[in-house]
Amino acid sequence: MNKLASELNDILEGTACGRLLSDFGRRIYFPKGILSQTAEANKQAHRQNATVGMAFIDRTPMELPLMRKQLPGLEPSQAVAYAPSSGDPALRERWKQEILRKNPGINPDEISLPLTVSGLTNGISLIADMFLDEGDDVVVPDMFWGNYRLIFEERRLASLKTFPFFSEEGELNIQGFRKTLEEAGKRGKVVAILNFPNNPTGYSPTKDEAKKLVEEVNSVAEQGIDILIISDDAYFGLFFEQDTEKESIFSPLSNLHPRVLAVKIDGATKEDFLWGFRIGFVTFGGKGMSRKQYIALEKKLTGSLRSSLSSCSRPAQSLLLKGLGSPGYLKEKEQYNKEIERRYLKVREILRVSDTPQRLEPLPFNSGYFMSFRCNGINAETLRLKLLGKGIGTIAIQEKYLRVAFSAVDLEDIPGLFDTIYETADEL
Ligand SMILES: Cc1ncc(COP(=O)(O)O)c(C=O)c1O
């Protein structure tokens, strides 16, 4: 093993994080190569800096004039220069402040600095590399974003251990989660992923449910099981009901128990209406982790990113940083969030006042972009295809569920959309 990797492992020794690392997670390190030599030169090479593989003119990165015209608000260093592998330091610091603003329950000293990744998918994949070996279990509700299967099972050869997301009574199945976590944790280590607001159901826990979930994690950790909990916060902030927990589950988990390492994966993708920017963040929180240990872990993750993407898009990071610092930022975002909320309320009204066909049973939803129907006695894929024939696009899941992204449909078109879905289900 490389000496630098051993040094990082030594720093993490004795923590849940150190025990949870995969083989790859133990081997990876951030080399003292071109990037760190360049970083040293950026500080000290006052005469000539002949380090980085970029082209400069007058000590400014060369930028074609025609590109300059496309990006008038950005300096060449903000537009075309490489960003550090871990992300633009100013953006990382700013995103941490944003996390703290949105989650007042987090103690700033208890979490790492967010590392910039290329969207949430990349963040989840990097964490999977770092903590999962072949045959490891990943606990996840049975209603999950399909890409988890590719990331955890196909890439990492781990196996998904699912539990029904909702109980028979139609509530969040906290006991099912606990049992599955306990069962999968019998080997002393377990990884779980929670995604609130959930894709595909659009459900987020109530304040009470969130509290109970966290208590269950604590009691499993008390049995001597090391737990990595990933909080996929892709749709964070789109909470439409009063009793819904408005903080990320990462917030209480980040300071829960020395055997629990929490990871928050979030980003600009949906939260800032920047889907194609490919900017996400990975933040760690574990009770008792020291700053030195967080930095060791960040170095490992940076090494992993360096060996795959090398670094994330510089102009996207610069534009996001500028956007976050602009005076109208919160107001504009709030207006769009409110528009999605109006669509949510319209869907709720339709479900309340119209005769929903027996064959379409709406699952609980209170947040995010989506709602889903359980299809009783009809095949969701057949329904989807029939709707498509009428010019309506929806998503069929496991042939049992039909997911409707109300976020994507203008308010005035929502009643017509649901009328057609109902009619078509009746025709089957
Ligand atoms: C639950 C969930 N996580 C992650 C993602 C991916 O986010 P990104 O586009 O930033 O990779 C999505 C996108 O649909 C999602 O629904």
Q: Ligand 1 centre and the CA of 265: distance in Å?
A: 10
Distance from residue 200's CA to the centre of ligand 1 (Å): 11
DSSP designation for 199: T
- Could you identify the atom of ligand 1 that is nearest to the CA of residue 144? 1
- Please answer whether residues 402 and 200 qualify as being in contact, where contact means their C-beta atoms are separated by less than 8 angstroms: no
Residue nearest to atom 2 of ligand 1 (CA): 234
pLDDT at residue 51, rounded to an integer = 87
Alpha carbons 199 and 368: distance in angstroms, whole number? 8
Which among 204, 202, 200, 205 has a CA at the least distance from the CA of 215?
205
Among residues 96, 156, 111, the alpha carbon closest in space to that of 304 is found at 156
Closest residue by CA, ligand 1 atom 13: 234
The token pair that represents 58 in the structure block: 């007058």
Ligand 1 centre and the CA of 124: distance in Å?
A: 9
The secondary structure of residue 256, as a DSSP letter, is: S
Cα of 234 vs centre of ligand 1, distance in Å, is 6
Domain spanning 329-427 has what CATH number? 3.90.1150.10
Element (H, E) at 209: helix 207-222
CATH for 3-30+85-324 is 3.40.640.10
Atom of ligand 1 nearest to the CA of 119: 10
Per run of 10 residues, the mean pLDDT along the chain (length 428 residues) is: 96 97 98 81 88 92 95 95 96 98 95 98 98 97 97 97 93 96 96 98 97 98 98 98 97 97 98 98 97 97 96 98 96 98 97 83 96 96 97 95 98 96 93
* Bridge partner residues of 229 (DSSP): 192, 262
CB atoms inside a 10 Å sphere around CB 186: 11
CATH 3.90.1150.10 residue ranges for the chain = 329-427
Token pair, residue 15, equals 């923590």
Determine the pLDDT at residue 32.
82
| pLDDT at residue 35, as a whole number | 75
The pTM score is 0.96
Give the distance (Å) from ligand 1 centre to CA of residue 338. 21
Q: What's residue 58's pLDDT? A: 92
Closest C-alpha to ligand 1, atom 3: 234
Output the ligand 1 site: residues, CB below 6 A. Answer: 119-121, 145, 195, 199, 232, 234, 267, 269, 280
Question: How many angstroms separate the alpha carbon of residue 120 from the centre of ligand 1?
Answer: 6
Burial (0-12, 13-18, 19+ Cβ within 10 Å), 43:
exposed
Tell me the one-letter amino acid at 46: H
What is the per-residue pLDDT for 121?
98
